[in-house]
Amino acid sequence: MNKTIKYLGLLLILPLFTVALTTNFAIDAEAAKGQGVPTKSYGSKTQVCGDRLCSQIPGGKEAYESGNTSTQTAVPPKEKPAMKDDHMKSEHMKDDHMKSEHMKDDHMKSEHMKDDHMKSEHMKDDHMKSMDAHKESSGLKLSRANVPATIPLHHGFYDGGDVYYIITDASDPKHADVITEQQGWKVELAPLLANAPEEALSTTYFFTNGVKGDGIHGYQGQVFTSTPAQPEMYSGLTSHIHVTWIDASKARLLMSEEDILSAEKAGEIALSPLPVVINMPQIVWPDGQMMVKEDKTLTDTTPYGGGQVLDIDTEEMTVTFIAHRGWGPDGRTIYYIVTDATPSGPAEMMGVVYSPTSASLLGNSAAVDLFQFMNGIKGTGPLGFQPGIAAGAPGDENYSPMWRIFMVGWEDPHSAKLLETTGDINYYKQAGKLQVNIAKPMDSDHIVNCPFIDPFQ
How much of the chain, in percent, has pLDDT values that exceed 90? 66
Question: Of the ranges 141-145, 297-301, 310-314, 423-427, which one carries the lowest mean pLDDT score?
Answer: 141-145
Residue 34 has pLDDT above 90, yes or no: no
Determine, yes or no, domain membership for 228.
yes
Query: Based on the domain organization, do 154 and 255 belong to the same domain?
Result: yes
Domain tally, the chain: 2
Residue 85 has pLDDT above 80, yes or no: no
Determine, yes or no, domain membership for 14.
yes
Question: How high is the pLDDT of residue 69?
Answer: 53
- Picking from 57, 77, 97, the residue at the C-terminal end of a domain is 77
- Picking from 53, 77, 101, the residue at the C-terminal end of a domain is 77
Question: How high is the pLDDT of residue 143?
Answer: 82
Cβ(300)–Cβ(142) below 8 Å: yes
Question: Which pLDDT tens digit goes with each residue over 342-384?
Answer: 999 999 999 999 999 999 999 999 999 999 999 999 988 888 9
Determine, yes or no, domain membership for 170.
yes
Query: Based on the domain organization, do 157 and 276 belong to the same domain?
Result: yes
Question: Which pLDDT tens digit goes with each residue over 197-213?
Answer: 999 999 999 999 999 99
What is the pLDDT of the chain when averaged over all its residues?
81
How much of the chain, in percent, has pLDDT values that exceed 70? 70
Question: How high is the pLDDT of residue 86?
Answer: 47
Cα-to-chain-centroid distance, residue 438: 27
Helix (H, G, I), strand (E, B) or coil at 3: helix
CA separation for the pair 389, 381 (Å, rounded) = 10
Q: Residue range 214-243: average pLDDT?
A: 97
pLDDT class for 50, splitting at 50, 70, 90?
low
Q: How many residues does the chain have?
A: 457
Higher pLDDT, 5 or 241: 241
Q: Are strands 188-189 and 169-170 parallel, antiparallel or unpaired?
A: parallel
Query: Based on the domain organization, do 69 and 160 belong to the same domain?
Result: no
Question: How high is the pLDDT of residue 63?
Answer: 67
**How many CB atoms within 10 Å of residue 353?**
28
Determine, yes or no, domain membership for 160.
yes
pLDDT class for 6, splitting at 50, 70, 90?
very low
Residue 211: C-alpha distances to residues 172, 244, 263, 335 (Å) = 25, 11, 14, 37
Cβ(16)–Cβ(87) below 8 Å: yes
Determine, yes or no, domain membership for 351.
no
Question: How high is the pLDDT of residue 16?
Answer: 34
Q: At 324, phi and psi to the nearest 5?
A: -100, 140
What domain range includes position 11? 2-77
- Picking from 249, 266, 285, the residue at the C-terminal end of a domain is 285
Determine, yes or no, domain membership for 367.
no
Query: Based on the domain organization, do 34 and 161 belong to the same domain?
Result: no
Residue 303: C-alpha distances to residues 16, 223, 381 (Å) = 90, 35, 9
